[in-house]
Structure 1
């Protein structure tokens, strides 16, 4: 997934995605505010577009994108922080708090036409303490679309735990790759040993 925060899509349309390089769907986000912005990214090779802040500010963007390009193209990213016994949506890369209940927002996004949800726990992000399984279980029990877990992976067991206990369809990990803790082949081999279906 590529994401360039606050960068308008026209600034990156000169970099088409090389289809020969990727064997899984590519997803692009950052700076998407209109259906036309989505079109620009899809035209240069993205299979899916990810929207976050713009969707919160204008929920109709989810519906309009789904109507134009199909629900399979629309990923709604949700940055979440715990507050008391609940969960609150944050926007602008987790910098700005909203008053929106995260679980209600996830359900609304599905109802509007989101094809996937990318849930990032801001509390766990960068900690390497594991994904917020409680949050993810609540989300997956409420929606009928794929949920991608993000935030907190530090060990291979974290990947297995969130898939098995959180009910998610996919996992996102960054630090374990950026800092060379594990390689992609190592992760795939581990999950295969755990009988988790993965793309080869």
Structure 2
């Protein structure tokens, strides 16, 4: 019995230690060849990276393959990370490059975006899940009607909670351009929402 308690205690301490480890610390360990750190970073970010790629390529099989490529790149190039941005921003930059490269290689058919929303995300709270269940269908339909450039801005800022500065780093455009695109993207989205009869979301 004492052995079981000791094992459970050690496991709990391991989980707590992993949660307390920052992304930068993980990346530093990864650059030294630490596979456990790589697994932790993957577990922490793979869902968000997958969702981000899927909204661009709209093909689940391609998205899954690209996620693997993204984290393989992280494993290979961790030493090159200079800490000028958040690790999550760096990951999305890699993901965006690979997704756009994939788009240039072939055309994709639209997928049912419900598949994206059904993917569990450990960071979701009950309140967030409830809100998404009541508004996501309308939002998805309206966001899908935006231009690729505007849809990308909305996705990064609202779905991935990136700042204007971070969005500029990911896309590779000036912050002023990000703000301009955001202004017109929100304006167009509000018009689409009002057209769908949803005035509270459009406000």
TM over 0.5: same fold?
A: no
What TM-score, normalized to structure 1?
0.25
